Amino acid sequence: MAKRSLGEAFLRAMVRQVGRDAGKVMSNQAFGDAHSTPIRMVRSADTSQQYAGKRRSYRHDLDRVVNGDLPSTVGSAKKKLVELENAMEDFLGDLMPISSPREIQVMKSWMYKSRDFIEDVLKIVDKPDVKKLADELLESFDDIKDQAKKRAAELELPVHYESPSSIKNARAKTWVGLLAAFGGAVALASLTVGDGFNKIVPFVALAIVTGVVLMIMGAVEKSAVNTKRSEHKSHVARVLEMKEALGSW
């Protein structure tokens, strides 16, 4: 696969698998709407070899290639580079949708590890055919990096619209409810048993109940507004961190 096709595969993966939730994806505006798929790989930035007893264990195909045995012939070197290319494409596809700076670090770490693997291959089998494949693969990595940084620059912060009256309405309900409940309680305490007692009590009780209901409604609405504000701040912070992580690559 040439530089252009692997780079395009990366971009297609980003566009195809980015989700809709601004808090879970980098930006719908930058990548478009699409559904996400289950993640099959272990999202770890640790690129070191893993061992289960005396045997190596691998987290995914890319791990198997870059931490596997190095080739010693032209044929095996070319085969390894093709395997690396295919494993990288699968790795990038499985990594989507990118939802945090940590996952960006995962991508960067395995890209660095893959570059080191290519350099090691060339140290052992430095032949024209192998070097040509290696150069094309390294160019494709540069293309992926450039595309990722470009998308990072295009990201816009999530927009949160909040009606100015929403918090005012919540506060108004709380205070009206408090006054109604308190006023009803005071009125009930001041009543004396008499001819009109039984007629007045239901209205006073209704005022108290209505006041309590209004206070609860106001508290719930205010809590909902504060929750949305907090979520928006979290989304903005995450996008800024992801922009920084990609921009500094």
Q: In this structure, is residue 207 part of a structural domain?
A: yes
Number of domains in the chain: 2
Q: What is d(CA 36, CA 17) in angstroms, rounded to the nearest whole number?
A: 5
181 with 222, same domain? yes
Q: Where does a domain end: 98, 123, 156? A: 156
- pLDDT number for residue 70: 93
| Among 135, 156, 177, residue at a domain's last position | 156
According to the model, what pLDDT value does residue 196 have? 64
Establish if 231 belongs to a structural domain.
Answer: yes
Q: Is residue 89 part of a domain?
A: yes
CA distance 121 to 79: 11
| Residue 248 forms part of a structural domain | no
DSSP annotation of 195 reads T
145 and 173, same structural domain?
A: no
Strand ranges, E, within 146-239? none
Per-residue model confidence as pLDDT tens digits over 61-107: 899 999 989 999 999 999 999 999 889 888 888 877 777 788 888 88
pLDDT of residue 197: 66
Question: What are the residues facing 56 on neighbouring strands?
Answer: 51
How confident is the chain (249 residues) per 10-residue block, as mean pLDDT?
51 43 33 35 60 68 91 93 90 78 85 93 92 90 83 73 74 90 84 67 87 91 85 81 77
Q: What pLDDT was estimated at residue 117?
A: 94
Same domain, 51 and 92: yes
Say yes or no: 59 and 174 in one domain: no
| Residues 127 and 54 both lie in one domain | yes
φ, ψ for residue 55, nearest 5 deg? -105, 145
Same domain, 112 and 23: yes
pLDDT given for residue 166 in this prediction: 78
Residues 81 and 100 in one domain: yes
Residue 27 has what pLDDT?
33
| 131 and 229 belong to one structural domain | no
C-beta separation of 246 from 154 below 8 A: no
- Could you tell me if 169 and 232 lie in one domain? yes
* Residue-number span of the structural domain to which 8 is assigned: 3-156
Last residue of a domain, one of 156, 182, 199: 156
Share of the chain above pLDDT 70, in %: 72
| Per-residue confidence (pLDDT) for residue 94, from 0 to 100 | 82
Phi, psi torsion values for 52, nearest 5 degrees = -115, 95
